[in-house]
A and B are shown apart, each in its own frame.
Chain A
Amino acid sequence: MRIIQLLPSIAYGDAVSNDAMALQEALQRKGYETATYAENIDIRLSEKIAKKINKMPRLEKEDVIIYHMSTGTELNYRLAEYDARKVVIYHNVTPEHFFEGYSKRLQELCVAGIEGMRYLADKVDYCMADSEYNRQDLLKAGYGCKIDILPILIPFSDYKKEPESSIIRRYGNDGYTNILFTGRIAPNKKQEDIISAFYMYQKYYNPKSRLFLVGSYKGMQVYYQRLKRYVKELGVKNVFFSGRVKFEEILAYYSIADLFLCMSEHEGFCVPLVEAMCFDVPIVAYNSSAVGDTLGGAGILLENKNYLETAGMIEYIVKNEEIKERVIKGQRKRLQYFKHDRIEKLFLEYMNQFL
Chain B
Amino acid sequence: MEEINVEEIMKDIRDDIRVKGYTEDMLSFKDVECVKDGVYEYDQEDYKQLLSDMEKRKTIPWYCELGQNGIRKFIKKFIRKSVGFLIAPITDGQNGFNSMVTDGFEQLAGFIENQKEELEKNRRYIIMLEEKIEEMQQEIETLKKK
Residues of chain A having any CB pair with chain B under 8 Å: 46, 101-104, 192-193, 195-196, 199-200, 204, 221-222, 225-226, 228-230, 233-234, 243, 296-298, 300-303, 306-309, 312-313, 316, 323, 326-327, 329-330, 333-334
A307-B24 in contact given A226-B32, A229-B33, A312-B13 (Cβ < 8 Å): yes
Q: Is B75 an interface residue (CB 8 A)?
A: no
Q: Quick check: is B79 within 8 A (CB to CB) of the other chain?
A: no
Q: Which residues of A contact B38 (CB under 8 A)?
A: 222
Q: How far is the CB of B51 from chain A (nearest CB, A)?
A: 13
A sample of 27 inter-chain contacts (CB < 8 A) reads: A104-B37, A196-B26, A200-B26, A225-B40, A225-B41, A225-B43, A226-B32, A226-B34, A229-B32, A233-B27, A234-B27, A243-B49, A297-B3, A300-B4, A300-B6, A301-B6, A302-B6, A302-B10, A303-B6, A308-B22, A312-B14, A312-B16, A323-B9, A326-B4, A327-B4, A329-B2, A330-B4
Question: Does more than half of chain A's interface fall in helix, strand or loop, or is it mixed?
Answer: helix
Q: Which A residues are CB-close (under 8 A) to B9? A: 300, 313, 316, 323
Chain B 17-53: CB-based contact to A (< 8 A → 1; otherwise 0): 1001011101101001111111011010010010000
B1 at interface (Cβ–Cβ under 8 A)? yes
Q: Tell me, rounded to whole Å, the shortest Cβ–Cβ distance linking A24 to chain B.
A: 17
**Quick check: is B70 within 8 A (CB to CB) of the other chain?**
no
**Size of chain B's interface in residues, with CB distance under 8 A?**
32
Docked Cα-Cα span, A57 to B16, in Å, equals 65
Q: Nearest-CB distance from B50 to chain A (Å)? A: 9
Contact among A103, A228, A309, A326 for B17, CB-based, below 8 A: A309
Q: Which residues of A are found within 8 Å of B17, using beta-carbon distances? A: 308-309, 312
Give the complex CA separation of A233 and B32 in angstroms. Answer: 8
How many inter-chain contacts with C-beta < 8 Å in the A-B complex? 90
The answer to whether B26 touches A199 (Cβ under 8 A) is yes
User: Are A316 and B34 interface neighbours, CB within 8 A?
Assistant: no
A323 to B8, CA, bound (A): 13
A233 to B43, CA, bound (A): 15
> What CA separation (Å) do A226 and B3 show in the bound complex?
38
CB distance from B33 to the nearest CB of A (A): 7
Of B24, B36, B49, B67, which one neighbours A306 at CB under 8 angstroms?
Answer: B24
Most buried by B among A192, A225, A297: A225
* C-alpha spacing A119/B46, complex, angstroms: 42
**C-alpha spacing A169/B67, complex, angstroms:** 34
A332 to B20, CA, bound (A): 35
Q: Which residue of A lies closest to B13 (CB)?
A: A312
Complexed CA–CA distance, A327 and B4 (Å): 8
